[in-house]
């Protein structure tokens, strides 16, 4: 049995749209690259993520539809940057949500110290992932 279409408040709808857009690893990786250095072209992103230009373009389009990136045209170049206001909405949501959850100290240390081993052709992507404050960057920002 279907419930039908439920209508939620504007903020909940916005968060759902953002989370859906961030539901793919490539899009999270693109957002991470833009966060480290804003105003990149699709070609610059393709140089850093081993996917076809057409694939990166499709992911950028999804991020644009979710209002997570701004698009600016400069001559023949298309420049992508982060839409900070929507990131702030997401940040506020997670800060409020996480403040209601109690995590034991043991679980916190497990989460923070887990090391993921990447193998194969995508192993170089680890250097662009989010880093915890207690870890030093092993390389300069891209």
CATH assignment at residue 81: 1.10.10.10
Q: What is the pLDDT of residues 125-138, one digit of tens each?
A: 544 444 444 444 44
Token pair for residue 69?
A: 């990136």
Name the residue range of residue 98's domain. Answer: 10-103
pLDDT value for 11: 82
Within 10 Å of residue 60's Cβ, how many Cβ atoms? 22
Asked if pLDDT for residue 50 goes beyond 70, the answer is: yes
Count: domains in the chain: 1
Q: Is residue 127 part of a domain?
A: no
Q: Is residue 83 part of a domain?
A: yes
Cα-Cα-Cα-Cα dihedral of 46, 114, 90, 104, to 10°? 180
Q: Is residue 124 part of a domain?
A: no
**What is the value of pTM for the model shown?**
0.65
Asked if pLDDT for residue 140 goes beyond 50, the answer is: no
φ, ψ for residue 78 (rounded to 5)?
-110, 125
Calpha distance 106→101 (Å, rounded): 15
Q: What is the pLDDT of residues 57-106, one digit of tens each?
A: 999 999 999 999 999 999 999 999 999 988 888 888 888 888 887 766 66
Q: Is residue 121 part of a domain?
A: no
Q: Is residue 33 part of a domain?
A: yes
Q: Is residue 135 part of a domain?
A: no
Q: Is residue 72 part of a domain?
A: yes
């Amino acid at each position: 049995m279907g419930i039908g279409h439920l209508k939620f408040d504007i903020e909940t709808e916005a968060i759902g749209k953002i989370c859906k857009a961030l539901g793919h690893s490539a899009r999270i990786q693109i957002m991470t690259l833009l966060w480290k250095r804003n105003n990149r072209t699709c070609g610059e992103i393709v140089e850093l993520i081993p996917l076809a230009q057409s694939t990166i373009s499709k992911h950028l389009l999804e991020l644009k539809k979710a209002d997570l990136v701004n698009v600016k045209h400069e001559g023949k170049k298309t420049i992508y940057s982060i839409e900070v206001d929507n990131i702030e909405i997401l940040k506020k949501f997670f800060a409020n949500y996480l403040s209601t959850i109690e995590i034991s100290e043991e679980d916190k240390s497990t989460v923070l110290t887990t090391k993921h081993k990447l193998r194969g052709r995508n192993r170089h992507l680890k250097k662009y992932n989010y880093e915890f404050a207690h870890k030093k960057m092993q390389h300069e920002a891209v």
